[in-house]
Chain A
Amino acid sequence: MRMNIHLKNRVACVGAGMTLFRRRLYETSDELMWLAAKQALEDAGLTIKDIDCVVYGTAPDNFDGIHMQSEALADGGGALNKPYTRVYVGGGTGVFSAIAGWWHVASGLCRRVLVIAEEKMSHVQPHPQYVFHHIFDPVTEKPLGVNLIWIFALEMHRYMYKYNIKKEDIALVSVKNKRNALDHPAAQLGMKITVEDVLNSEVLVWPVQRLDISPISDGAVALVFTDEENAKQLTDEPIWIEGVGWNLDTMYWTNRDLAFPTYLYYAGKMAYKMAGIHNPRKEIDFAEVYDPFDYKELHHMEGLQLARKGEAPILTREGVTERDGDLPINPSGGLLGVGNPIAAAGLMKVAEVYWQLKGQAGKRQVKKDVVTGLAQAWGDLMQVGTVIIMRR
């Protein structure tokens, strides 16, 4: 192992489970937690009695409308009379909950941790989008009637301007991810579409159109992490968590470089250093990068140094990021295809890295032999990057 920090325990992922991702699920939030947790525990060959602590991730409380979300759902998460922690960094929460699970074990505090991320957005009427109106500054931004899509459109357009990127090339990401999702049993929006379909879809905030954007979703995902000794008792093929990184940029987002995700550059550097990775483009075999919008997959590939600045659209056009390409990106189908129950979508990416490294992804399995995979999420006011690197 080539870690560059002192850790008490090496940490392995030994089980994963998830619910369907759908626009509306009948089950309550804690029922979704239970369904995902049960599947992850069964996958690991453990019961809740074997679990020392529970880590829970969800995005804004406003989706459930209960302002003590963590406590309200503890029973469904199996947290009764256990150390229980909620972590929250907006859209970055899914991967961050895995990072928090990792530090519980890496520090020696717990041997086995259940990590659950859940989101149920369908409660909010008339449209969950309105929840995001309340993440902005009430003095300088909310009076302008700001919505979340504005800031992404502003960033996307700046990125297109700086590197002279065509919408056609960005749309290829949506086409790829929705097609990949056809092979994901939990996916909400697996479909065969063309670049033309994306370009002809409803314009929301130019340059963002309906098919550039991930859907509203309900869903939950759970993982089980253990220390090295326990992992080797449970399985011959533990998947090791070898690097984690997270980083926060300023909340004055209009003061930032909108063409390059600096927060992710630093989060990636932290994770690469820990995992002993010097050349990410060569040493990362595949990645699940955060793709709530199609341009964001490209932006994040560049922030993670998986592509040079402005190069990600070219790699995409050349097929490098396809499942049978040299650097598969989002073989799961990502948020654009599998769906975007916010925190759960981030943890779904970590689960996909686990399944790919185990060789259990079936029809989604990437063609090349993979040893090292990366999952990443992004959130808060476009300002946080969360990264996890896993190896078999």
Chain B
Amino acid sequence: MKPENPPGTPYKRNDLEEGRVLYTEDSLELWYRWSLGKYLSKYLEGLKEGRILGRYCKACGRIYVPPREVCQYCFRETDEWVEVGDTGRVNTAVVSYIQADRSRMDKPLIIAVIELEGASKGMGILHRLGEVDPEDVINRKIFGKKVKAVWKPPEERTGSVNDILYFKPVEEV
């Protein structure tokens, strides 16, 4: 039977801690400043003002959120700025119990893809849901429901996707 005698020497975490496997360690500390360009800059400025902005492509009629310079379907520059609503419908949602480093969260977080009203069908954005019972996510009752952005107070906004605290349902789940 192939593979025949696959080589390799497994070890366990405590083999490191108890000195049976030698190792060296180092950390990579890198710091980045990403310049945002014309389109994302305006998107974040819009968020600071409590508005969600998209870009319209005249050739195919799509309205993109987040906004972008190029319509990737037509491969031409998008034409106009459009303000889309801060309401939308839940395309999909999940309940997260872990952080990015795999550690457990203190309390679960509901994450969703929300299709914004005023953007083209299927143009969702990633964000949190709030004021939702996790059970309604698990049984998928929240899918397709109308939600609306809950914004930070204007003085606390920084020009970030986090200027929206979360989206909350505005119809019965």
Contact = CB atoms under 8 A, between A and B. Distances in A.
B61 interface: no
Contacts, number: 180
A277 interface: no
Nearest to B92: A158
Interface stretch (A98-106, A108-116, A145-153): A145-153
Contacts of A254: 113, 123-126
A255 interface: yes
Nearest to B16: A24
Interface string A122-134: 0001110110110
A154 B3 contact: no
Kindly name the residue among A17, A43, A150 whose own CB sees the greatest number of chain B CB atoms within 10 A: A150
Contacts of B1: 183, 185, 360-364
A218 B28 CA distance: 21
Nearest to B97: A203
Contact of B126 (A24, A25, A144, A208): A144
Interface residues of A, number: 68
A22 B94 contact: no
A265 B25 CA distance: 43
B101 interface: yes
Kindly name the residue among A157, A207, A258 whose own CB sees the greatest number of chain B CB atoms within 10 A: A157
Main secondary structure of the interface of A (DSSP, over half): mixed
B76 interface: no
A355 B91 contact: no
B162 A143 contact: yes
Nearest to A216: B102
Interface in A315-368: 351, 355, 358, 360-364
A186 B6 contact: yes
B3 A139 contact: no
A150 B100 CA distance: 9
A229 interface: no
B125 A140 contact: yes
Interface of A: 16-20, 22-27, 32, 35, 39, 43, 62, 65, 125-127, 129-130, 132-133, 138-141, 143-147, 149-150, 153-155, 157-158, 160-161, 183, 185-186, 203-208, 218-219, 250, 252, 254-258, 351, 355, 358, 360-364
7 closest A-B pairs by beta carbon, nearest first, are A362-B1, A20-B8, A158-B92, A186-B6, A153-B94, A26-B9, A133-B100
